[in-house]
Amino acid sequence: MSRPKAVVFIIGFFLTALGLTVTLQQWDAIVLVFKAVIGPLMAVAGLVILFASTLK
């Protein structure tokens, strides 16, 4: 493994670990955002399906 690839791997590993840490620390907020977004998305998807079913 050449030196630049090793540096990129180490940076990628560090960013992955940091991202997982931040995500797990804010898990309650992430769940709230998901619950707030899923309802409207399901409603819009239902409307699109209803509209598509009327097309010939």
pTM greater than 0.75: no
Helix (H) or strand (E) holding 4: helix 3-25
Determine the Cα–Cα distance for residues 15 and 32; give it in Å rounded to an integer: 24
pLDDT at 20: 94
Q: In the chain, where are the structural domains located?
A: 3-54
Find the largest Cα–Cα distance for the chain: 60
pLDDT at 1: 58
- Work out whether the CA dihedral 32, 34, 39, 44 comes out positive or negative: positive
pLDDT at 56: 77
| Residue owning tokens 């540096």 | 7
